[in-house]
Chains A and B, each alone.
Chain A
């Protein structure tokens, strides 16, 4: 699926939530249920900086698609990471570089985009883009 289609799918799903509580309950469910990363990848070099809770991001290229895995100590951060991975993982580096992140605002999580928020979301997106840049060169 193209990134834009995944984003639209997510926007539609989130539009069904009536209030912040339902949105966050969903994020928490995502965060709790998805075991996203192998413990061997939970190393310091995979840590995203600027986070109040530890957030690890691991990237691997597989047949020209970038596969991302992530994990965090905080459930909500994990939930947000899960949403991001649904959008950006298993996509080509080129399409990741060209993608925008407006969908985050559309699903009511814009507050997590502020650079002052201590959840590393912005840093994680930046890191995803850096990986895409690096793998795109090859």
Chain B
């Protein structure tokens, strides 16, 4: 199927709306993606036709709902090329997934151990580690950034040691768009016997990842970043690890006391899925993956790469505009400032023109501190954005700058 952005845009009802009298130009995809009617319809269809709780009820619609929910898990398994579907835990999102893992390692680690996290991390990756360290005294070491927004790989190698037990790194930086060399990071970490969690929230909408090939221990993502609904995500964990760490939440059939006897818990994945899950969310998640795979990730990647390069070139023509993070490998995210202007001012005026961007620290204060700035304007593109939108964005940005200068 040939990639046709105009045809694709027809699938997204929200792209027809106006903001402040202007057509919406949605460049905040790193915050959340828009949803195609296929995903929206699957949600409505669930509630209209087979909504039911999924704990193996005797009646028919309960079975239909269960099949759809577990069917979504299988879609996720297939998409990420995971060996066993019981290594896919359905969670409420990446933040939940990371907390689940950090909580799991709380009692496994102590103050002789070290964990590595990167300076690029989103707070959802940093804070759970800090909370864990408060409980078990584990030492947190930080892989530093370089001036082009990449991880300092040599420093990473220096920091790795026999004491390293966990490495937490994002696949793609939400603040800068940098794609990290996770395959080598994982391989090197394994040489030291450390487990690796990769936060794939920002990657999954742009890159199709083969988790077996990656040999990663934990991988997380959120559906709402990839055209799926909010409130649902997944945590992949190698069976050996998921069997080792205790459950995060009690409820449903779960016991309240945490011990390390395997037989006390429900089998995977249900050990980590207490209570009634976000059934409709999981179904929507699966449909979103179907939708993206139907377009094809090769086409998505190459089109978004065109958008990135087009926008970068145009933005660089604007005087005093500075782009942060110019890694060789990036997803379609551009974080920038203009002279001394505050990102909040620029974002506010752009909004008046119907343009949605994000401003501020992007939940990545260490990145902002590294560059010595209070925040940036972040434009993040998706496969349903167009070059015309980028042209309009640049023109509006110039008008905003003129107003503010």
Contact = CB atoms under 8 A, between A and B. Distances in A.
A75 B345 CA distance: 6
Interface in B332-355: 341-345, 348-349, 352
B344 A119 contact: yes
A76 interface: yes
B277 interface: no
Contact of B403 (A25, A54, A77): A25
A118 interface: yes
A76 B374 contact: no
Given A52-B375, A54-B374, A20 B344 contact: no
Interface in A6-39: 20-21, 24-25, 28
Q: Find the residue from A25, A76, A119 having the highest chain B CB count within 10 A.
A: A76
B352 A77 contact: no
Contacts of A21: 352, 403
Given A20-B352, A75-B342, A28 B404 contact: yes
Given A28-B403, A52-B375, A54-B374, A74 B345 contact: yes
A74 B343 CA distance: 8
Given A20-B20, A20-B352, A74 B342 contact: yes
B374 A24 contact: no
B403 A74 contact: no
Contacts, number: 44
6 contacts: A21-B403, A52-B343, A52-B360, A52-B361, A74-B342, A76-B344
Given A52-B360, A74-B342, A76-B345, 19 more contacts: A21-B352, A24-B348, A24-B349, A25-B403, A28-B403, A28-B404, A52-B361, A53-B345, A53-B374, A54-B374, A73-B342, A74-B344, A74-B345, A75-B341, A75-B342, A75-B404, A76-B348, A118-B359, A118-B360
Chain A interface size, as a band, is 10 to 19
Nearest to B348: A76
Interface string A103-133: 0000000000000001100000000000000
Interface in A29-69: 52-54
Interface string B355-382: 0000111000000000000110000000
Contacts of B360: 52, 118
Contacts of B341: 75
Chain B interface size, as a band, is 10 to 19
Interface of B: 20, 341-345, 348-349, 352, 359-361, 374-375, 403-404
Contacts of A25: 403
B32 to A, nearest CB: 15
Q: Find the residue from A24, A28, A53, A74 having the highest chain B CB count within 10 A.
A: A74
B268 to A, nearest CB: 39
A119 to B, nearest CB: 7
Nearest to B351: A111
Contacts of A54: 374
A99 B341 CA distance: 34
Contacts of A20: 20, 352
Contacts of A24: 348-349, 352, 403
Contacts of A119: 344, 348
B68 to A, nearest CB: 34
Contacts of B349: 24, 76
A86 B359 CA distance: 28
B145 to A, nearest CB: 22
Contacts of B348: 24, 76, 119
What 4 pairs across the A-B complex have the smallest Cβ distances? A74-B342, A74-B344, A52-B360, A53-B344
A13 to B, nearest CB: 19
A77 B404 contact: no
Interface string A75-111: 1110000000000000000000000000000000000
B100 to A, nearest CB: 28
A73 B404 CA distance: 13
Contacts of A74: 342, 344-345
A119 B348 CA distance: 10
A108 B361 CA distance: 28
B162 to A, nearest CB: 42
A52 B362 CA distance: 11
A20 B404 CA distance: 14
Q: Find the residue from B342, B359, B375 having the highest chain A CB count within 10 A.
A: B342
B344 to A, nearest CB: 4
Contacts of A118: 344, 359-360
A20 B20 CA distance: 9
A116 B341 CA distance: 22
